[in-house]
Chains A and B, each alone.
Chain A
């Protein structure tokens, strides 16, 4: 009945690094299922081309010159960072790479 299994919800939550409770999983099963139904409606629309429409604006990208640069003082950036050691951003240890 549900479009998504509990396992699939758990997997998506893992990819987003979000902790979910069993109750939440049931709720997301329904919510995400509805989203997928909406996507199905879009998929049903018949289009004349296979070309992906990436942006609604019919304009070519304007490339940036390689010479002009801009940097921001780390003190400004720090305000948006949870923890700092010296000039480094500090995060819980990452395992693996």
Chain B
């Protein structure tokens, strides 16, 4: 049964981070009290007309740029007609003829193999309202109705659940870093519909669409179970039907959904309420300049500076921390990333703060990293001054002074302590000379205890070996 090849294409919907909605000037915010961010346009009251949100178009251009698409400079919209209570107009405004971006790609890597996944097109549209279903009634909240959506349609270029998940991770990273969308699948600001087919030949099999999958890992599991189902059907000489399914997380299988309108039944036609808008090269250049340093570029800098791949990915996954390092590329990024991912992250988690809400500045981080690198302070001292670093505007030397911390890196002062410890522990010295490793660790411990952890361990180690050799 392994001679079947699975083919996957994915449609992603993500909500754009605008202030107002796409075609109406009500607030883009939902999830709170129902039906407060609404106006006449959202309810399609007679006499209302849509208008185009400038920033929505700008984010569409930005997405086209980061997804390597060709930009269609003539922006036009179409109506997709269907009657459903979640859409009061009776149609969704979308881009069917002339999507804002076409022929793009993203590059993914699975098991060390790089692959380009084609983007067929990306287009701007509006979200529908949020409906909650009970036994005999459905309840509608129109706050989400009209929220700007970007639909990203991939080519059927993926051949495994792993490739599909890598594609989605990559897409999420790019959209997040370009500040286009929050991409929170659990809150619905990013949603995936997955097309799967299997075939033994080069000719593609009949595909099914599995809608609204809740997380990237569920996408992987949905593809695995749907491909297995199709193979089983074909092995039993049944046909695969082009149909819409949903993924049941608990049963770990896809389930057939009611058949809705498709294709021609949507009766697409040009939206007569919105005249065309033309994007010029200058505007595209301006948008290009607003794009942050993208994750791949950051990752390669991190790896070049000696950060492990695991930590580099951890930084990328935590954009505020990664942003904090922008412009600090000249310092020791290994030390800096260890601080950010270690004690600083623990502090932020404990206090439920964002790094930008603390008093830590790039200048302070730069100084701390230098002091640590030059062994002028120890990690212990860093831990002691952390809270003051995060919560006060005091400089590092001021904090150290205020807390009465002595940073011992003065050799003669250290030698006094070392001599004292050696004299007090003749047994350990004997053990050391007999080749027992533990002895030196014990002596080190005693010295650190004497100096209350303020001595520089590397220096202590060096001086202790030197003294013991005498």
Interface residues of A (CB under 8 A from B): 15-17, 52, 54-55, 57, 59-72, 74, 77, 80, 85-97
In the bound assembly, the distance between CA atoms of A86 and B36 in angstroms comes to: 12
B26 touches A71 (CB 8 A): yes
**Contact across chains for A63 and B20 when beta carbons are under 8 A apart:** no
Given contacts A80-B43, A95-B258, contact A67 B19 (CB under 8 A): yes
Assess A71 versus B39: contact at CB under 8 Å? Given A15-B265, A89-B142, A96-B257: yes
14 pairs, CB–CB < 8 Å, chain A vs chain B: A60-B275, A61-B75, A63-B51, A64-B25, A64-B54, A66-B20, A72-B26, A72-B38, A74-B36, A88-B140, A89-B142, A90-B137, A94-B86, A94-B138
**How many A-B residue contacts, CB cutoff 8 Å?**
133
Check if A57 sits within 8 Å of B25, measured CB to CB: no
Asked if A74 and B35 sit within 8 Å, CB to CB, the answer is yes
Whether a CB of chain A sits under 8 angstroms from the CB of B134 is yes
- Given A16-B83, A17-B83, A66-B19, does the pair A97, B211 have CB atoms closer than 8 Å? yes
In chain B, positions 48-65 with a C-beta closer than 8 Å to chain A are: 51-57
Q: Which of B18, B34, B97, B141 has the largest count of A CB atoms less than 10 A from its CB?
A: B34
B261 at the interface (CB under 8 A from A): yes
Q: Is B277 an interface residue (CB 8 A)?
A: yes
A63 to B57, Cβ gap below 8 A? yes
Binding-face segment, B215-223, B227-235, B266-274, B372-380: B266-274
The answer on a CB contact under 8 Å between A66 and B134 is no
Verify if B135 is at the interface (C-beta below 8 Å from A): yes
- Asked if B55 contacts A66 (CB within 8 A), the reply is yes
Contact residues in A for B84 (Cβ distance below 8 Å): 94
- Complex: how many Å from CA A16 to CA B54? 33
Q: How far is the CA of A40 from the CA of B133 in the complex (A)?
A: 44
Asked if residues B131 and A54 are in contact (CB atoms below 8 Å), the reply is no
- Interface assignment of B276: CB less than 8 Å from any CB of chain A: yes
Asked if B76 CB lies within 8 Å of chain A CBs, one says yes
Contacts of B39 in A (CB 8 A): 70-72
CB distance from A89 to the nearest CB of B (A): 4
Q: Are A69 and B20 in contact (CB under 8 A)?
A: yes
Q: What residues make up the interface of B, taking CB atoms closer than 8 Å to A?
A: 18-20, 25-27, 33-40, 43, 45, 51-57, 75-76, 81-86, 97, 131-142, 211-212, 257-258, 260-261, 265, 267, 270-272, 274-278
For residue B76, which residue of chain A has the nearest CB?
A54
* Residues of B contacting A88 in the complex (Cβ-Cβ under 8 angstroms): 34-35, 132, 139-141
CB pair A72–B139 under 8 Å, yes or no, is: no
Report how far A55 CA is from B18 CA in the complex, Å: 28
Residues of chain A within 8 A (CB-CB) of B75 are: 61
Contact A69 B19 (CB under 8 A): yes
- Asked if residues B51 and A64 are in contact (CB atoms below 8 Å), the reply is yes
Provide the residues of chain B in CB contact with A54, threshold 8 Å: 76, 270-272, 275-276
CB-CB < 8 A to A77: which residues of B?
Answer: 35, 38, 43
Residues of B within 8 A of A80 (CB): 43, 45
The residues of A that contact B76 with a CB separation of less than 8 Å are 54
Instruction: State in angstroms the CA–CA spacing of A92 and B135 once bound together.
Output: 9
**Chain A residue contacts of B34, Cβ below 8 A:** 86-88
Question: Is A89 a contact partner of B133 (Cβ separation < 8 A)?
Answer: no
Which of A16, A68, A71 meets B36, CB within 8 Å?
A: A71
> Which residue of chain A lies nearest to B50 when distances are taken between CB atoms in the complex?
A64
With a cutoff of 8 Å between Cβ atoms, the chain B residues found around residue A86 in the complex are 34
Once the chains are docked, how many angstroms separate the CA of A90 from the CA of B134? Answer: 10
B54 & A65 in contact (Cβ 8 Å cutoff): yes
- Docked-complex contact B138 and A61, CB < 8 angstroms: no
CB distance from B99 to the nearest CB of A (A): 16
- Interfacial chain B residues near A87, Cβ < 8 Å: 33-36, 141
A11, B432: Cα distance in complex, Å: 93
**B26 to chain A: closest residue by CB:** A71
Give the docked Cα–Cα distance between A55 and B132 (Å): 38
Decide: A85 near B18, CB < 8 A? Known: A71-B38, A97-B212: no
Residue in B37, B83, B85, B139 whose CB lies within 8 Å of A85: B139
- Per the bound structure, the CA–CA distance linking A67 and B27 in Å amounts to 9
Complex Cα–Cα for A33 and B298 (A): 63
Contact A61 B19 (CB under 8 A): no
Q: How far is the CA of A86 from the CA of B32 in the complex (A)?
A: 14
A94 to B85, Cβ gap below 8 A? yes
Complex: A62 Cα to B275 Cα, angstroms: 9
In whole Å, how far is B258's beta carbon from the nearest beta carbon of chain A? 4
